[in-house]
Amino acid sequence: MRRSKRSLEGEILIDHRSGPGLPEEVARFIGVDPKYVRAGTTYESATNTCAHCQATVVINPERTRERGWCPKCDKYLCDECTFRLARTLECRNIERVFDALDDLIAKHGDGVVENPLINPFLFQRGK
């Protein structure tokens, strides 16, 4: 069955109609335009989940460059994973990573998950 890319989207709603909103410096720190999160406003947007790292990405409707897409797993990617895919050409779909971890755990026991040499994927975020 063929599905559209839009069918994979979620949504976010930030409602400050009866709240104080976020201070401008906080909004900028988290990467949001302050006009969307000030007192008395609501902001609604589509979201996508990165298939490789599970990050939730808020869709910026004003973005002009193409969004990341993995042709191997046929799913959305965040900018970081799009960059990694362009460098390595390796699809690191999180479902496949978890399947591989399940196989390792079945073979070697639970301790394998905590070993960064065997499971480098879990230790890569934030670097």
Residues 84-108: pLDDT tens digits? 999 999 888 888 888 887 887 788 7
Residues 52-83: pLDDT tens digits? 988 998 888 778 888 899 999 888 999 999 99
Residue found by looking up tokens 């976020």 in the block:
22
Q: Given pLDDT bands bounded at 50, 70 and 90, which one contains residue 114?
A: low
Residue 36 Cα to chain centre, angstroms: 21
Residue 87: predicted pLDDT? 93
Residues 6-22: pLDDT tens digits? 777 888 888 889 889 88
Shortest CA distance to 48 belongs to which of 33, 63, 34? 63
The C-alpha R_g of the chain, in whole angstroms, comes to: 18
Residue 52: count of CB within 10 angstroms of its CB: 26
Please give the Cα distance from 101 to 71 (Å, whole number): 23
